[in-house]
Amino acid sequence: MLLAPATVALAAALVARAPWWLLAVLGLASLVPRHFRLPRVLWMLTFYLLWEAAALVAMFVLWVASGAGWHLDTPAFRRAHYALAGVLLRILFWQARRVLRLRIRVMGDAPERDAPNRDAPNRDAPASPLAPGRPLIVASRHAGPGDSFILVHLLINRFRREPRIVLVEALQWDPAVDVLLHRLPNRFIVPTRWSAAGPGRGPAPGESRWTAAQEVGALARGLGGNGAMLIFPEGGKFTKERKFRRIERLMRSGWTGHARRAAALSHVLAPQPGGMLAALDAAPDADVVFIGHTGLEGMATLSGVWRDLPLDKRIVIQAWHVPHADIPHGTEARNEWLFTWFERIDGWIGSNQPLA
């Protein structure tokens, strides 16, 4: 709770005391293609601080307008917060596009085009897998917090959806993310281990993983035609250490076949099915869209962002649509189905690596 007012105070002090000529120089230098790495980073940090503060002030205004929070959980104020999230993300990606040379291409929805340059939907185009009109569970490959921002931006601003998100607890350290997402139907969870009983079999005695799965299931209930639940079945971004730990857990659980298949994965982790299965059970009429993407692999850490700047960054997103009628029934069948899909995502990533 202390981070939010501290962020606003720091931003106000920056605006009041920082030389405007210095901010102008940083802003202009950051726009020069392929040059000025340090000014580019300093400008984005400054911009993000001001963006955070503006978001917090806007949410405070909504809190006051709701009767000091009395009506925050009503449909009208929920829509207002989704609208605010859309505006904030559009501004953030407008800046990222110019300063970081970030380009996003979405495939799997004809015709293909770059986003966020074109947030408005093309009404003459065939329906996208992510278009509104039916409830969706969006299961994505995970490569760090950047893909969460990108996918939520696309769901809100391009596809006019109201996403519900399953996020790691650590993102609550971001004050604006913390306040905004706690006012909307989302869940922050602690990444947990596989059950000793094996994937999808429920927790071993004394384990709390099932509680997280129940929370995910509760989040998926009541998805409307504009609703989309965003989940990352890997439970974290890919690293070699996590890959080996995941394989070891599968081996200890007796899932030797899955362990061998997990060892063959080069870009994604073996999915942890508990949350995904809970979401499917809670939203039986929902279609599923699987998401693979490339271009964010080097930007999962600050050192990676520093290393990649100031080169242009092109992110390619592939969406695969699975109608709810094609989703198998039963725990074992769904475990196999989910694992097979992540093998397909892994293969697609390997075939679509960005050029060095």
For 31-36, the CB contacts below 8 A with 24+ separation are 31/98, 31/99, 33/101, 33/310, 33/312, 34/310, 34/311, 34/312, 35/310, 36/310
CA–CA distance, 261 with 252 (Å, rounded to integer): 15
Compare 149 and 40 and report the one with higher pLDDT.
Answer: 149
* Confidence at residue 305, expressed as pLDDT on a 0 to 100 scale: 64
* Confidence at residue 203, expressed as pLDDT on a 0 to 100 scale: 45
Task: Find how far residue 151's CA is from the centre of its chain.
Answer: 5
* Confidence at residue 140, expressed as pLDDT on a 0 to 100 scale: 96
Contact 185, 217 (CB under 8 A): no
pLDDT level of residue 112 (50, 70, 90 thresholds):
very low
* Confidence at residue 247, expressed as pLDDT on a 0 to 100 scale: 94
How many CB atoms are closer than 10 A to CB 223?
22
List, for residues 296-327, the tens digit of each pLDDT value: 876 656 666 666 665 567 889 999 999 999 99
Mean pLDDT value across the chain: 83
Q: Is 287 helix (H, G, I), strand (E, B) or coil?
A: strand
CA–CA distance, 186 with 155 (Å, rounded to integer): 15
pLDDT level of residue 125 (50, 70, 90 thresholds):
very low
Please tell me the pTM assigned to this model: 0.85
Domain boundaries along the sequence of the chain: 103-351
CA–CA distance, 154 with 346 (Å, rounded to integer): 22
* Confidence at residue 308, expressed as pLDDT on a 0 to 100 scale: 65
Average pLDDT over every residue of 267-284 = 93
Cis peptide before 116 (omega within 30 of 0): yes
Query: At residue 269, does pLDDT exceed 60?
Result: yes
Compare 252 and 129 and report the one with higher pLDDT.
Answer: 252
Query: At residue 84, does pLDDT exceed 90?
Result: yes
* Confidence at residue 194, expressed as pLDDT on a 0 to 100 scale: 39
